[in-house]
Amino acid sequence: MSNVPPFDIRAPFFDQALDDDDIIEEFDENAPSRYRDEIIAQFERSEEGVALAASGQELHWAGTFVEFMIRYVAAGLPDLDPDSFDSVIFEEIPRKVSVEASEAAAIIVELRAFWSFLGRAYLLENAPGFVAALDDEAAMRLERELANPENYGPAKSMFMQGRDRGFDMSSEEGIQAWLTQYNRELGFAPPVNLSSSGSSSGLGAMPLKKRSEKDRNRSRIARASRKRNGRK
């Protein structure tokens, strides 16, 4: 019998209310963070998470996956389809996360354990397929994507340039030293924001599009994120 506490893994991020004949959707700006934090806390306490941590691996890639899934796919774990699953792992992580390509195997191992937990504890229909997909071939593919500079977003590209130039990009002082050098070489002083280069930076803004229902969800999450962070 599972010892997982009550948690609605299918909980929507939007509350619906009927106003006359129209359905009004109100976004709960704290729902994505609560969703991510709760499911990751459960994973860390699960037999899969405990076993992986006991092997010496730090657990943080599952949290990054869930954050990016919410931010860029605007879907919950039960609704994730294979194309979106691949896009988070092989497109968004290489584009946004500044990490050595050699970490690919550890990322895949943790995500396999995470989806094994989801399949066991919540009987998600998509979990077995994702577990099977997170194999050695996936690790090699992710390693190639992480090593390919063409995949880097602007912030990650700047981050990796600083690292390759010998700056300590793990410290604020090293980052600022690199930015100062970079701006000096360009002949101007405006700072470059590298805040999006880390592995997890909160549920930030997404492109504002209003087309499909998925895109409308993304827009609502983006607006709530900007409101929460005091941005217009």
3-state DSSP of 197-221? HCCCCCCCCCCCCCCCHHHHHHHHH
Which pLDDT value is given to residue 57? Answer: 92
Listed by start position, the domains of the chain span 14-151+202-228
Distance CA 69, CA 200 (A): 12
Say which residue, 10 or 2, is predicted with more confidence. 10
Distance CA 28, CA 228 (A): 11
State pLDDT tens for residues 133-158: 999 999 999 999 998 877 566 656 66
Which pLDDT value is given to residue 173? Answer: 73
Locate tokens 């294979």: which residue?
82
Residue 97 has pLDDT above 80, yes or no: yes
Q: Degrees (nearest 5) of the Cα angle 52, 87, 104?
A: 35
- Interhelix angle 47-54/104-122, rounded to 10 degrees, is 150
Confidence of residue 196 (pLDDT cuts 50, 70, 90): very low
Confidence of residue 123 (pLDDT cuts 50, 70, 90): very high
Contacts 24+ apart (CB under 8 A), 189-192: 192/155, 192/158
Say which residue, 20 or 145, is predicted with more confidence. 145
| Contacts for 88 with CB less than 8 Å, ≥ 6 apart | 65, 68, 69, 72, 73
Arithmetic mean of pLDDT over the chain: 75
Which pLDDT value is given to residue 167? Answer: 60
Residues forming a β-bridge with 18: 23
Which pLDDT value is given to residue 7? Answer: 79
Burial class from Cβ neighbours inside 10 Å (0-12, 13-18, 19+) for residue 198 reads middle
Contact indicator for 11, 35 with CB cutoff of 8 Å: yes
